[in-house]
Structure formats: structure tokens, C-alpha cells
């Protein structure tokens, strides 16, 4: 499950009862904090689920400030927590691919240095190949969004495999 304030107040016991193993939640859109994050982060952990955090990255906003917001709100990762995620699907108002890639690198490098593990990148081939065009991140785990359940994932070049495939935006639990 991928959650943010858009899902309202989540029944976390229901998520666990639905046999979900992990949930990744949005901490912010650039520097705009997600108002449900603190509740979701604590509740996910309280249910004993594997918890992850992502930031919807805006390349035209200071990448270090975005990374620090994620790091501060996330705190120290615990056992079973997933690596933090940079959600890369914005051009920052039409920035050049080299500028977007440079901003992503600053964010990723800063998070990795503080956390001690590689962050994950969320991006689809439909966005990455036209707007980032970088092979520099191929060693980072990829969370691939492509909404179809009866297709073969068309992941961004240069990745050869995905770690997570988000195949729907409409999943629900009771």
C-alpha cells in the first residue's frame, strides 16, 4: 500500500487484518509536509508492519532541504523498515534532464550518507527516459509504477529489474 493524506484516517488494524506486509507512506511533497504522516508512521509501526517513507521530489526545490525534511520526520530506521524513497516524477516546471538528475543525485547522496543504506527511486519509464535520462542511479532499487495487472512491466532504462511494482492506484482494504 502507498498512502498519504489523500486516504484520510486509515484503520491500521484493518490493514494488518488484510494481511498487508508493508506500507510506504508519503512524508511530503517537496517541503509541504503530509498532515497524516506522523499518525501513519506511528500506526504502521504499532501494527508491526514493514514501514517505508517517500518524498514526492521537486527538482527545483533545494534537494538537501527536502532530504532533511524526510530524514527528520522519518527518524532512525528500525528493523524491518524499508529504505527511504525519492518519488521522481516532476520536471520542476520544465527543468533540463541534466539539472533534474543533478538534483536527484544531491538528494540521494545526502539521504544515503545519513541513513547508511541506498534509498529507493520511484519512477516509471514514461517519465525517467524523457525527463531524467540518467544511468547514474542504476544501482539504486527501483519502485516501478505502471498501472496494469496483465502486462509486463516496462521499467525505465537503464534498470534491468524492479524491487516493487505498483500495478494499481485503486487498491483498498476493509
Pairing outcome for strands 50-57 and 85-88 = parallel
The model's pTM: 0.94
Grid cell 539521504 in the structure block, residue: 111
Which residue's C-alpha cell is 525517467? 128
Is there a contact between 174 and 13 (Cβ–Cβ < 8 Å)?
Answer: no
Q: What is the pLDDT of residue 1?
A: 83
79 CB neighbour count, 10 Å cutoff = 5
The candidate with the shortest Cα–Cα distance to 69, out of 51, 56, 83, 50, is 56
Burial of 100 (0-12, 13-18, 19+ CB in 10 A): buried
Q: How far apart are CA 121 and CA 33, in angstroms?
A: 19
Cβ(25)–Cβ(3) under 8 Å? yes
pLDDT at 174: 64
Per-residue model confidence (pLDDT) at position 42: 97
Q: Please report where in the chains the cell 521522481 appears, as a residue.
A: 88
Per-residue pLDDT for the chain (174 aa), expressed as one digit of tens each? 889 999 989 999 999 999 888 899 999 999 999 999 999 999 999 999 999 999 999 999 999 999 999 999 999 999 999 999 999 999 999 999 999 999 999 999 999 999 999 999 999 999 999 999 999 999 999 999 988 878 888 899 999 999 988 888 877 776
Give the per-residue pLDDT at 159. Answer: 95
Residue 36, pLDDT score:
97
Pairwise CA distance, residues 44 & 12, whole Å: 7
Amino acid at each position: 500500500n502507498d498512502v498519504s493524506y489523500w486516504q484520510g484516517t486509515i484503520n491500521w488494524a484493518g490493514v494488518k487484518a488484510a494481511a498487508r506486509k508493508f506500507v510506504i507512506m508519503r512524508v511530503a511533497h517537496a517541503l509541504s509536509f503530509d498532515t497524516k504522516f506522523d499518525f501513519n508512521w506511528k500506526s504502521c509501526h504499532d501494527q508491526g508492519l514493514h514501514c517505508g517513507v517517500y518524498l514526492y521530489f521537486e527538482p527545483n526545490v533545494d534537494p538537501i532541504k527536502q532530504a532533511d525534511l524526510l530524514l527528520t520526520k522519518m527518524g532512525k530506521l528500525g528493523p524491518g523498515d524499508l529504505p527511504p524513497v525519492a518519488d521522481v516524477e516532476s520536471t520542476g516546471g520544465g527543468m533540463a534532464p541534466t539539472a533534474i538528475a543533478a538534483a536527484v543525485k544531491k538528494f540521494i547522496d545526502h539521504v544515503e550518507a545519513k541513513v547508511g543504506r541506498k534509498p529507493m527511486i520511484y519512477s516509471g519509464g514514461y517519465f525517467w527516459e524523457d525527463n531524467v535520462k540518467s544511468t547514474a542511479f542504476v544501482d539504486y532499487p527501483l519502485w516501478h509504477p505502471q498501472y496494469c495487472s496483465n502486462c509486463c512491466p516496462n521499467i525505465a532504462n537503464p534498470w534491468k529489474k524492479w524491487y516493487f511494482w505498483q500495478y494499481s492506484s485503486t487498491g483498498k482494504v476493509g
